[in-house]
Amino acid sequence: MGRLVRCLGLVWVAGCAVDVSGFGGDAVGSDAGVDLGRIDGDPDMGSRDLGVVDLGGRDAGTVDLGPPDLGPPDLGPPPYCNGQDGLVGCYTFDGASAYADESGNGNDLIGNSVNPGLGAIGTALWLNGSSSLFAEDSPSLDPSARFSVELFLWVDDLPNGGQRRGVLDKNGQFGIFLYAPDTIRCSGGGGSAETTGIVVDRWTHVACTHDGSTVRLYVDGDEVATGTGGAPGSGNAALHLGEDSPDGDDQLVGRLDEVRLWTRVVPPEVIRASADRL
């Protein structure tokens, strides 16, 4: 603001009353460069920049603008083994108990001579041709009208001649089998659908649905065959994995992973999404 001299009258300088009476308004040195303007208590300070107001170090606090709006949270894909309509059995073989049914229906497996192995997703169960793996019959595993099954299959040894190898079976209701030389067949309600081209030493996603009249077979997410048949009906046989039900013969040599069973027909996009997990 320049240097100030003694003042007797009153003018306003930067918001302060200064007495400069008797000095004829010549209260500030000529080199101060301050336009005092009127002296009636309402000075015209012009457009002079008075600098930053010093609040004496007072902390004005932080303005809380709240959390940023990031939109709805990303919940990821739906859970693989729960929260799904009609899911009655789900076996990923990845938990603390490899035989646990993770669908919440309590259809746990009972295993003998079964070992963990590298899976399509995480851990699989390796079946050596003399293994036994099954779940006792329960009302939830009784698809009287329709069903869907899916799994990842690794074949170490294909059947020869007139042999067959069980992949999954519930006697008299539904089943998936390998037949010589490279055929896979899904059956239920007296109808079946099959295709060839199954090879060893690779993971293959296999799925089968039955709506009460049509059996559909999917390989690696694609529908490859259909067949006709009646409803699967009811039964009391155990569910066997990697072998025939109820006898436990025709045993698979290979691995199984990510097995799911429904008492409804799942749409093709669900099957495709499962196959694409690999």
pLDDT tens digit sequence for 138-192: 999 998 889 999 999 999 999 999 999 999 999 999 999 999 999 999 999 999 9
At residue 96, the pLDDT reads: 81
Q: pLDDT per residue over 199-210, tens digit each?
A: 999 999 999 999
Helix (H, G, I), strand (E, B) or coil at 132: strand
Higher-pLDDT residue of 44, 212: 212
pLDDT value for 60: 54
pLDDT at 66: 62
pLDDT digits (tens, 9 = 90+) for 17-67: 444 444 444 444 444 444 444 444 444 545 455 455 455 555 556 656 666
Question: Would you place residue 4 in the very low, low, confident or very high pLDDT band (cuts 50, 70, 90)?
Answer: very low
For residues 77-106, give the mean pLDDT. Answer: 89
Determine the Cα–Cα distance for residues 39 and 28; give it in Å rounded to an integer: 13
Residue 75 in tokens: 């919940």
> Which domains are delineated in the chain?
1-49 (no CATH), 87-275 (2.60.120.200)
Identify the residue with better confidence: 88 or 20: 88
Please tell me the pTM assigned to this model. Answer: 0.73
Q: Where are the beta strands (DSSP E) in the chain?
A: 11-13, 16-18, 87-91, 110-118, 123-135, 147-155, 164-170, 174-179, 183-188, 191-195, 203-210, 214-219, 222-228, 239-241, 253-262
- Reference 167, options 85, 251, 88; nearest CA is 251
